Amino acid sequence: MQFNGVLDHLKIYEAGKPIELVVREYGIDASDVIKLASNENPRGCSPKVIEAVRDEATKMNLYPDDSMYELKEALAQKYHVNESNVIIGAGSDQVISFAVHAKANPNTKVLMAGITFAMYEIYALQTGATILKTPSAGHDLAQMRDIYRANPDISLIFLCLPNNPLGECLETKEVYDFLDEISPETLVVIDGAYQEYASFKDPAKKILPNDIISKYPNTLYSGTFSKAYGLGGMRCGYGIAQPEIIKALLKLRAPFNITNLTLKAAIVALRDDAFVQASVKENFEQMKAYEAFAKELGFKTIESYTNFIVLEFDASQNSSVIAQKLMEKGIIVRNLGAYGMNAIRVTIGTPEQNKRFFECFKTLYM
């Protein structure tokens, strides 16, 4: 059977190995597997969320409130915007996919950093758009500016602040200066999936959605409950933009795009900021241990504003081999070989998990 031509350029997405698969493939007991590969919150989520979801479990037969009124209102309050500025997605991924399908098409181009969140490219390829990336791995705004000036058919730009999978983050002031030069017809997606971490570590990198969408009506800020809120498994994210953009994206949203338990979880999670703050604080305390570990073993790191850290190896080591050997010991990390790097990305775990990572690594390599 023939399918639409655009599918020829698409690959089936292969996600990071879940604990279940490592258990099956290597016969390691599930309780001995540590997953430091998907930037999940190692502290779980707020206990208040668990309680609320358990209560809600008797209502699984009922479709969610598709207006998502209560969640939108809570987000609007948190970010000092109106409900009409908010859209909810099954992960911020889905909001990003709406943005791509609203703006990109075979006659347009999509601009992003050399190494950044993989889904930008995957969604853009679904539309047949051309992908442009900076020669530099991370966000280099001078390079982005040059490419933008040379390509007036760029319909969409992605800024991942801070950047996954590298961890670096632009200063907000630099971002604003860049946005000054972008046409109001070009949509700029500011992916704030890890903003809770970046803004804690360095207030100069904090993005205020209400401020950025007021000054630049062509921006869309996306946020997620998957990282600092500890709800990666529940698939909930959001977009904040001017109503004109939100209305366009809503046309692409299927009804009931998140579960009713997800809706409840997100609403209750927003009320427990103390959990988020404690998670983020512990994250950066623990990151120091990774920095010390890297220094001790002579690995390069990229200064990280997220809940993960990139360890880069010299030619004497091979990141694919390292990731594989760690997996056989029950520790799952993300090999960045597919990005042309000789590096691994490690999620900052609990103190116990991190200690086991350090010990295991040293046993294998020292």
- 64 is a site residue for a copy of itself (CB under 8 A): yes
Q: How far is the CB of 67 from a copy of itself (least distance, A)?
A: 7
Residue 27 burial class via C-beta count within 10 angstroms: exposed 0-12, middle 13-18, buried 19 and up: exposed
- 65 is a site residue for a copy of itself (CB under 8 A): yes
Binding residue for a copy of itself, selected from 45, 270, 280, 331, defined by CB under 8 A = 45
Q: How far is the CB of 48 from a copy of itself (least distance, A)?
A: 12
Question: Is 20 or 359 the residue whose CB approaches a copy of itself more closely?
Answer: 20
- 19 is a site residue for a copy of itself (CB under 8 A): yes
> Which residue stretch of 12-20, 142-150, 160-168, 311-319 sits at the interface with a copy of itself (rule: CB under 8 A)?
12-20
Q: How many chain residues bind a copy of itself (CB under 8 A)? A: 83
Q: Are 299 and 361 in contact (CB under 8 A)?
A: no
Question: Is 61 or 363 the residue whose CB approaches a copy of itself more closely?
Answer: 61
Over the window 234 to 273, marking each residue x when it contacts a copy of itself by CB under 8 A and - when it does not, the resulting string is xx--------xx-xx-xxxxxxxxxxxxx--x--------
Torsions phi, psi of 143, nearest 5? -65, -40
Q: How far is the CB of 20 from a copy of itself (least distance, A)?
A: 5
Cα 240 from Cα 286, distance rounded (Å): 31
Instruction: Tell me which residue of 298, 280, 271, 294 sits closest to 346, measured CA to CA.
Output: 294
Over the window 93 to 132, marking each residue x when it contacts a copy of itself by CB under 8 A and - when it does not, the resulting string is xx--x---xxxxx-------------x------x------
Tokens for 348? 């900052």
> Which residue stretch of 78-86, 180-188, 286-294, 349-357 sits at the interface with a copy of itself (rule: CB under 8 A)?
180-188
Q: How far is the CB of 24 from a copy of itself (least distance, A)?
A: 8
Left (φ > 0), alpha (ψ -120 to 50) or beta: where does 59 sit?
Answer: alpha
Q: How far is the CB of 262 from a copy of itself (least distance, A)?
A: 6
Long-range residue pairs from 358-365, CB within 8 A, at least 24 positions apart, any chain:
358/289, 358/293, 360/326, 360/329, 360/331, 361/293, 361/297, 361/326, 362/297, 364/322, 364/325, 364/326, 364/329, 365/297, 365/317, 365/322
The DSSP code for 100 is: H
